[in-house]
Every structure is written in C-alpha cells, then in structure tokens.
Structure 1
Amino acid sequence: MGNLSQFLGIEVYRDTTGLYLNQAKYATDLLKKFGYENLKPSLTPMATGKLISKAEGQVLKNPTLYRSAIGGLQYLAYTRSDITYLVNKMSQFLQTPTDAHWKALKRVFRYLKGTLKHGLVIRKSDNLDIIVFADSDWASCPDERRSTAGYCVYLGDNLVSWCSKKQHVVARSSTEAEYRALAHCASEITWIQSLMKELKIP
C-alpha cells in the first residue's frame, strides 16, 4: 500500500529525522467553512489576563454555528496540544454561547491561520523515561471559582499525552489545586506504565 501519507484527516510525513503529524488541510478547510480564510494571523490563541464568563455578551442568534466550530476544533486538538486549553475553555459555553465567546473563538481561528503547519513530531529515542509537566490555574473560572488543571506526558523525547480540564471541586488554596493536578498526572502515568508493561517494554 506504500508509505502512510494521510489517516482520518491527519497528514503524515516521514524522513530520516522522524515522523511528523499535522492537520494543515483540515485546519484550512475549517477556516474556509466559517469564512475565515483571509483572517489576519495572531501570534497567540488567547488574550492574556482576561477571564471569560458565561454571562458576558449577548446570546448568539445561531448557537449551532458556535457548537460546530467547537466540534471542529476538538478534532484538530488531536495533533495540536497548543489549542487544548482554549478548546476546553470555550466548550464550557456550548449551552448558551454569546458574541463575546464567538469573539474569543475567532482569536483561535486567527492563531490557526498563522500556524497551519504546527503538529506533532515523533523521533526515535533510546530514552523511555516517562516525564510529566503539570500546572493548575487556581480559581480561574469566574462563574464557579473552580480551577483548571493541565499536564503534558512525554515518553522519552516525544509528547504522547496531554490534557486541560476544569477540576471537579473548588480548591480552597492554590496548593490544593496543584495537588489535584498532580493526582491527574499520577493516574495518567499509571495507565501508560501498564500499557508499556503489556507491550513488554520496560
């Protein structure tokens, strides 16, 4: 069948340095679908220092468009860990999206416009240590005061798992929020270790 070049919308490129996965065509089609192919690119997917609330702005007349955009971005996040936090955040407003939420979502599209070729790189590595980076944003939700936790899991030099998720309970301190983020990481590490053990890889 030849070398793999595309699988479920994910483009695959291989050379002597490693394997490259991206969804450039899918992202381009997504921009065209919403009429954003001529947007001015943005360097970042979100404005810093501003918390988005559920009650902010006027309710959209066509919320289906917003939900469709979120669905498209969720699939794109399979190879784009850089938009995971934003997609998670904007998914929290699916029930009653407003024009303020759509404006924030448009910023994500502007960021995609300038980073179409971004994706995952998988390289050969003799090191199979599991390394994890975790963080939490204490009380970052202005509506419920719940924290957001995130982590990235590396197997050797390669990113294999990542997550950004609102915590289930209200943390009473930043330390508690950090420990809860670490608990999520410990669970993910345990699962990856069991998978590697099943594959007989130490």
Structure 2
Amino acid sequence: MEDTIFISQSKYTRNIVKKFGMESAAHKRTPAATHLKLAKDEKGVDVDQSLYRSMIGSLLYLTVSRPDITFAVGVCARYQAEPKMSHLAQVKRILKYVNGTCDYGILYTHGENSMLVGYCDADWAGCADDRKSTSGACFFLGNNLISWFSKKQNCVSLSTAEAEYIAAGSSCSQLLWMKQMLLEYNVVQDAMALYCDNLSAINISKNPIQHSRTKHIDIRHHFFRDLVEEGIVTLEHIPTEEQLADIFTKALDAVQFEKLRGKLGICLCEDL
C-alpha cells in the first residue's frame, strides 16, 4: 500500500488447514489453552509420526508472518520423536486458531523512528519434563516488529531472576547483531532499551556484588552486565501486563493474548 506493507500467508494458511482436514472445526481464540502443560506422556496413545512432523513443519513455516503461534508451535515441536494423542490434540488446537485467523498478518508502517527496542521474558521451569525455562523476546525497529524468538533454555534455572537474566542475555546477543547490521546501512543506534518485567534480573545486571545469589549463574551470561555498564544496552522495567514478550513464553488468556497480538502489529488487512 502507499505507506504501509502488509505481510500475510492467508492462502498458505487455508491450504494447510484444508490439508489436515480442520477447515470445518470450531475456531479458537487462542492457539493454546491457559493451562497448557505438555509432557512426554509416555503412557499416552502413539500417533502417526510423519503426520505429526508434517503438521509441525507446516506451522513452523507459518510463524514467519504469525509470531502469535510461535510459542505454541515451539512447545509441540519438542515432542516430534514420540508424538502422543495429547500432543496431536494441541497441534489441532493451533490449526483451529489459525483457521479462524487466516487473513491475519504483520503490518509494517513507514516512520522516521529507527531506534532498536527489545522486550524479553522467561517462563521459569515451564517445561514439565526437565524443568528448563523458556526464553522469549521480540524486537522492534521504530514501531515495526522485525525479530522474535521463543526457545527453551539450555540449563535449569534455580530462580525466576536467573531465568529472566539468561533470557535478557540471549536478547542482548540479538540486539548487538542487529545494531551491527543496521550500521552497514548507516543507521546508528544509541543506547538500546531492553524491557524486562523482573526487578531482580535488572538489579543483577547493575550490581556485580550480589555473589550469593549469582555465583551459580554461568559466566557466559554475564557479558550482558558489561554491555549495561558500557551503556550499550539499558535494561528497563516494564509492568508484566505490558510485557509484549509474554506471548512468546506462556499460554495466555484470550483477552491478554489479543491485546498483545495487536501491539505486535498482527492484524487484519481490513482493520487498516
């Protein structure tokens, strides 16, 4: 359009919904129920592995324009080795959600603001199998969403603060990479703001003295503290209900989910 770009995979979405026979299923407002806690479910009924992997692969391709399903698809993707009926039911729930939101996509608007801003969050011990946490983050250039991730952490965190601190460290790596990339287009960044809803994680980043609470945190996560000290990144507090990265770390209720989805710039073309 004249001063906006709308990216949508609506045709592809309809095709995958039809491919897996979900076009007449009831629509859902969210891709996952708020009580979603998938586990290995070793006593569950086995399902066709190739069908399950095909569904996951199709949905992963859709996350390119639909960040709102990233978390739910990521959780289901962990069980591709031995998928059970409970896992398949959750994948079908995602398909019911995308079936009702086929025409949604990401809106990009032209603006003078070219500041990089990030939001990071973690769901402490969210994985029922190994108690590892899930990191989630999203990054904006001005008002436009340009990058996001939802990823299980490599190690078990002993506290919420540690999980959030590790998520912030991963987000910083992404911010630095994007800062360097923008430099090649002559777009210079000042201190980049990273929004976190955990005050303890913010304090750890500013205060190197808290030995008893932080000495068990792996040294590789502390490079983030150096970036804060040098003023390259500033870690800012944000209320949990305003934390956009929440959508990448946990299953939310319909009202909060739709609110955050809108703030990420995911909308209907007709809404413009």
CA distance in 2, matches of 1:138, 1:130: 26
Q: Does 1:50 align with 2:36?
A: yes
Quick one: distance in 1 between partners of 2:185 and 2:45? Answer: 50
Corresponding residue SS for 2:41: coil
CA drift of 1:59 comes to 3.8
Q: Distance in 1 between matches of 2:116 and 2:25?
A: 39
What does 1:118-157 align with in structure 2 at a 5 Å threshold?
A: 118-157=104-143
Residues of 1 paired with 2:95 and 2:122: CA distance? 25
The alpha carbon displacement at 1:153 in A equals 0.2
User: Cα distance, 1:58 vs. partner?
Assistant: 2.3
1:74 has 2:63 as partner: no
Between the aligned residues of both structures, percent identity stands at 37
Using the alignment, how far apart are the partners of 1:170 and 1:199 within structure 2? 39
**Alpha-carbon spacing, 1:115–1:87, altered in 2? closer, same or farther (3 Å):** same
For 2:54, what is the secondary structure of its paired residue? helix
Distance in 1, matches of 2:38 and 2:63, equals 20
**3-state DSSP of counterpart to 2:95:** helix
SS in structure 1 of the partner of residue 146 of structure 2? strand
The structure with higher relative contact order (CA 8 Å, sep 6+) is 2
What's 1:165 paired with?
A: 151
Aligned-partner SS, 1:66 = helix
Q: 8, 17, 28: which is aligned to 2:14?
A: 28
Deviations 1:105-152 (A, max 9, x none): 111011001111111111101011111111100000011000001001
TM-score (norm 2): 0.67
What is the deviation of 1:63? Answer: 1.1
2:152 partner amino acid: K
List structure 1 runs of 4+ shifted beyond 6 angstroms: none
Question: Is contact 1:153–1:161 with CA below 8 Å preserved after alignment?
Answer: yes
Counterpart-to-counterpart distance in 2, 1:195 and 1:27: 31
Name the structure with the higher helix share.
Answer: 2
Matches within 5 A, 1:32-111: 32-55=18-41, 58-111=44-97
Q: Which string of whole-angstrom CA distances, capped at 9 and with x for unpartnered residues, describes residues 20-54 of structure 1?
A: 00000001000111111111110010011231101
In 2, the alpha carbon distance for the partners of 1:61 and 1:72 equals 17
**Which 5+ residue runs of structure 2 have no aligned equivalent?**
189-272
**Which amino acid in 2 is paired with 1:39?**
A
Aligned residues: 188
8 Å contact from structure 2 (residues 47, 88) kept in 1 = no
> For residues 51 and 20 of structure 1, what CA distance do their matches in structure 2 show?
34
| Aligned partners of 1:42 and 1:110 also within 8 Å | yes
Contact 1:57 1:100 in 2 (8 A): no
**One-letter amino acid of the structure 2 residue matched with residue 83 of structure 1:** I
Distance 1:147 1:23 in 2: 30
- State the superposition RMSD in angstroms: 1.1
2:146 partner letter: V
Q: Is 1:186 aligned with 2:172?
A: yes
Deviation string, structure 1 residues 65-103 (Cα, Å, up to 9, x no partner): 000000000000001000000111111000000000000
In the alignment, is the contact (CA less than 8 A) between 1:57 and 1:99 conserved in 2? no
